[in-house]
Structure 1
Amino acid sequence: MEFVDHPQDIPLQIKEVNDRMFPETSFDRVGFVGITWQSKRAYAMGQAVQITLKEIDPNFCVTGRVVWCDNQQDSFKIAIEFPEKEDCFCVRMIEQLSQIEHYRRQAKTQGRRLNYNEAAAEWINKFAASFPAFTI
């Protein structure tokens, strides 16, 4: 199971969902399965959550489930898996866009002004090969 740390400067909106059931999944899944996020609140393991990411795509909306929630100093690090193949594939693509936007913002703080296409080209060259594969 591979999770990608979602960049904190690209806000996620997370809402609990109580009427969603998922198929059982095994812990030996290989490849990209979800994301991690620093949350101000704890979530119960197994809790279904709806994720939106308005800054990257206003139409993006998927539902996943909390796999673990670790209490840290001032926050909770949560891992959200996406057991449905289509949702998982969609999240992986959106997450790459989020990583590229985060890279563009980091470059800006270093005095480099990159448009999105320039940032994407650099990010792909530097990081795409190590981004977890989608293998469900």
Structure 2
Amino acid sequence: MPNGTLVEISSPRLAPDMRGIGQIIWCRRLGKGYQLGVAFYTSDDLYAIRMMEQLCHIEHYRHILVTEGQSLTLECAAREWIEKFAEHFPTDGL
């Protein structure tokens, strides 16, 4: 994607009411896909993206537990993930 392109980031399944608008500031090939650098211009957009990112990590954690035979609600998985991993949640560039 060209630098300067505006993007809307959302996760309708995990957070249907959250979205953030950002601008591509760099794009590089990574394996079979691409990695994007996105600048957010409002604290609301940055907050929404950080919450969505955490939800993705929590859902991934929950999926791992399910494959190991444990069944947790998203809320229980969130509490457990926060206790175990939140303090190490990345803050790169923030």
* Matched residue SS, 2:85: helix
Whole-angstrom distance in 2 between the partners of 1:87 and 1:100: 20
Instruction: Indicate the residue corresponding to 1:24 in structure 2.
Output: none
Judged with a 3 Å threshold, the aligned counterparts in structure 2 of structure 1 residues 67 and 104 are, in CA distance, closer, same or farther, namely same
Q: Structure 1 residue 118: deviation in Å? A: 1.9
Which stretches in structure 2 are left out of the alignment for 5+ residues?
A: none
- What is the TM-score when the length of structure 1 is the normalising length? 0.59
More helix by share: 2
2:51 aligns with one of 93, 106, 117: 93
Instruction: Indicate the residue corresponding to 1:29 in structure 2.
Output: none
Q: How many residues align?
A: 93
Percent identity (aligned):
35
- What is the TM-score when the length of structure 2 is the normalising length? 0.81
Tell me, yes or no, if the aligned pair for 2:23 and 2:38 is still in contact at 8 Å: yes
Whole-angstrom distance in 1 between the partners of 2:18 and 2:48: 9
1:60 aligns with one of 13, 18, 21: 18
* Matched residue SS, 1:45: coil
Where in structure 2 are the equivalents of 1:14-33 lying within 5 Å? none
Judged with a 3 Å threshold, the aligned counterparts in structure 2 of structure 1 residues 117 and 61 are, in CA distance, closer, same or farther, namely closer
Higher RCO (CA < 8 A, seq sep 6+): 1
Judged with a 3 Å threshold, the aligned counterparts in structure 2 of structure 1 residues 47 and 119 are, in CA distance, closer, same or farther, namely same
Superposed CA RMSD in Å reads: 2.0
Deviations 1:86-125 (A, max 9, x none): 1111221222222211111121122221111221121011
